[in-house]
A and B are shown apart, each in its own frame.
Chain A
Amino acid sequence: MKHKTIFALAAAVMLLSACEEPGPPSFGPEPDLPKPSRGVLPHMVIAEPAPWGDEQPVVPEGYEIRAIATDLAIPRQSLLLPNGDILVAEGRGGNAPNLKPKDVIAGYIKAKGTSSVKGGNRLTLLRDADGDGAYELRTVFADNLNAPYGLALIGDNLYVANQDALVRFEYQEGQTRAGGPPTKVTDLPSKINHHWTKSLAASADGRFLYVGIGSNSNITERGMVAEADRAMIWEVDAKTGMHRPYATGLRNPTALAIQPGTGQLWAVVNERDEIGPNLVPDYLTAVLEGGFYGWPYSYWGKNVDDRVRPQDPEKVARAIVPDYSLGAHVAALGLAFSVPAMGGEFADGVFVGEHGSWNRPDPVGYRVTFVPFRDGRPAGPPVDFVTNFRGADGKTRGRPVGVTVDPKGALIICDDLSNTVWRVTPRRGM
């Protein structure tokens, strides 16, 4: 009953918003950028959550999907260990206070689209010892963490990006429980933590860790001071914990990955809201060292965002255009490079987990897409890989977050709405 009221409210809000029918989001290296627009109220459409029941995520012909762990506590990102074990980071972070009446109302509506389960603040280990695709062992590898998100393994060091610090566990192959509490590598910016997730990737040579740190606001509405050390990717020396900004102006770099072969750092970044259903494209990009990607002053290169004061034309002048639009508001939260063992048209490219929109009359995202690559660069439109997280009935049964590729040919997907870890594999004999 309560839910019905909320969705009636959301519908009313929608009616009050500027209600022109937006075209589909624009993909690729040169997306259409309409003029910024906003109605009296922002579009807020949260697809109503529902249990899976008889429904299943849909995968392409020749692939199968199964849930390898359910009833987790907000699974976000996963890491494949050398022996095939899977670590899953579970948690929910952020402690941004409500500053305006709007924050109270918007926060309430957005919460209706997420799980009510309490974040686990732990790492769960899943093991399939006999290789039959069923993960029969499930155990807590480490707990009492603080909203862990990014995971990376360098040799026998397991790095975990909590919402407030980068920490390290010692790890021996086959281990099912951490030997003790972790050692802190470095503190991470954590005041307010509007965008709290700290994404993580290890450089190909294992010397550095890259940490994605999201902005502390949509578009500086918590003040410029709150944005010190935010909206950037840090390069952290794995041994000493010393760090420096590697690239800046990335509003919310929610997932990082190193490209096999080249060692190039790539990121998916969530862009700003409330200037229209097809603005601003969330993007996939190779991250250039020292690069500035616009936030907050401009978007998609040099398109100035008038909501920011004071403005900074000098920074806008050197803002980099990202490589590839994933579409506005899709909320890309997962990124993984594929391997030939994934098969067929999914052999060369990246998988992207899309959590799904709230700021669009016609919801987008709620799926895992595949961006095909050629010669190490995105080539061609994105292809649906896993869908039906948002059903034809408009109800949401899952929201994909992190994606991880198993070199043996499997994609592992964390779903923080149904609290499930999914595993997609090519069908045997294909």
Chain B
Amino acid sequence: MAVTAEHRYSVVINPFHALLLGGALPLYLGALLCDIAYARTYEIQWSNFASWLIVGALVFSGVALLFALVDLMRDRRRARGFGIYILLLLATWLVGLFNVLMHARDAWAVMPMGLVLSVICSLLISLAAWFGFATPRVGDAR
């Protein structure tokens, strides 16, 4: 049986890069859950939590984006799946930036746009992580 080990980006991804990429997902997801909690209870502390979680997600995904940009400069690293990954990560970061600014509004002025943006951020970071981590299907006859 022939083993086809595709040269995917996930094979060469730096472990610290991977850690940041994986970490950004629960941060955005946490922000989304906090937004939902605020929308349901009007309890302002949830909204404060959401703001800080988005800042955390921006830091994590921002540094991950730097890793990806460095890899962009290095031919050897630009494996299959890399292009879509870096585009998704960049999109996540930009939407995240708008999201944190939206969350800087006072009280209910965050809603509903803040919640919508948190949903989009969570989806985008999930997709980015999917493409960043997609592994070659070792041992899988195709």
A: residues with CB less than 8 A from B are 38, 40-42, 99-102, 217-224, 274, 306-310
9 A-B pairs within 8 Å (CB atoms) are namely: A40-B98, A100-B52, A102-B103, A219-B106, A219-B109, A220-B107, A223-B43, A309-B42, A309-B107
B: residues with CB less than 8 A from A are 42-45, 48, 51-52, 55, 98, 100-109
Partner among A100, A306, A309, A310 whose Cβ is within 8 Å of the Cβ of B51: A100
| Residues in B whose Cβ lies below 8 Å from that of A222 | 44
Asked whether, in the complex, the Cβ of B107 is within 8 Å of the Cβ of A38, the reply is: no
A217 to B52, CA, bound (A): 19
Residue from B52, B100, B105 whose CB has the most chain A CB atoms within 10 Å: B105
Tally of contacts, chain A with chain B, CB under 8 A: 56
Nearest A-chain residue to B39, judged by Cβ: A309
The 6 lowest CB-CB distance pairs between A and B, nearest first, are: A102-B104, A221-B106, A223-B44, A309-B42, A307-B109, A309-B108
A102 to B52, CA, bound (A): 10
A42 to B104, CA, bound (A): 9
| Residues in B whose Cβ lies below 8 Å from that of A102 | 51, 103-104
With A100-B52, A310-B42 already in contact, the answer to whether A38 and B108 are too (CB < 8 A) is: no
| Residues in B whose Cβ lies below 8 Å from that of A218 | 106
| Residues in B whose Cβ lies below 8 Å from that of A274 | 105-106, 109
With A101-B52, A274-B106 already in contact, the answer to whether A221 and B44 are too (CB < 8 A) is: yes
Asked whether, in the complex, the Cβ of A221 is within 8 Å of the Cβ of B52, the reply is: no
A42 to B105, CA, bound (A): 8
With A223-B45, A309-B42 already in contact, the answer to whether A101 and B51 are too (CB < 8 A) is: yes
Partner among B52, B55, B98, B108 whose Cβ is within 8 Å of the Cβ of A306: B108
Asked whether, in the complex, the Cβ of B52 is within 8 Å of the Cβ of A38, the reply is: no
A223 to B41, CA, bound (A): 12
Asked whether, in the complex, the Cβ of A308 is within 8 Å of the Cβ of B44, the reply is: no
Nearest A-chain residue to B104, judged by Cβ: A102
What is the minimal beta-carbon distance from B52 to any residue of chain A, in angstroms? 7
| Residues in A whose Cβ lies below 8 Å from that of B109 | 38, 219, 274, 306-307
| Residues in B whose Cβ lies below 8 Å from that of A310 | 42
Asked whether, in the complex, the Cβ of B107 is within 8 Å of the Cβ of A101, the reply is: no
A217 to B100, CA, bound (A): 20
What is the minimal beta-carbon distance from A268 to any residue of chain B, in angstroms? 23
Asked whether, in the complex, the Cβ of A99 is within 8 Å of the Cβ of B48, the reply is: yes
A38 to B101, CA, bound (A): 12
A217 to B107, CA, bound (A): 10
| Residues in A whose Cβ lies below 8 Å from that of B48 | 99-100
A310 to B105, CA, bound (A): 17
A223 to B47, CA, bound (A): 10
| Residues in A whose Cβ lies below 8 Å from that of B104 | 41-42, 100-102
What is the minimal beta-carbon distance from B35 to any residue of chain A, in angstroms? 13
A304 to B92, CA, bound (A): 35
Partner among A40, A42, A307 whose Cβ is within 8 Å of the Cβ of B107: A307
Residue from B43, B48, B102, B103 whose CB has the most chain A CB atoms within 10 Å: B48
Given A38-B109, A223-B44, 7 other A-B residues pairs in contact with their CB atoms under 8 A: A38-B105, A41-B104, A219-B106, A221-B44, A221-B106, A224-B42, A307-B106
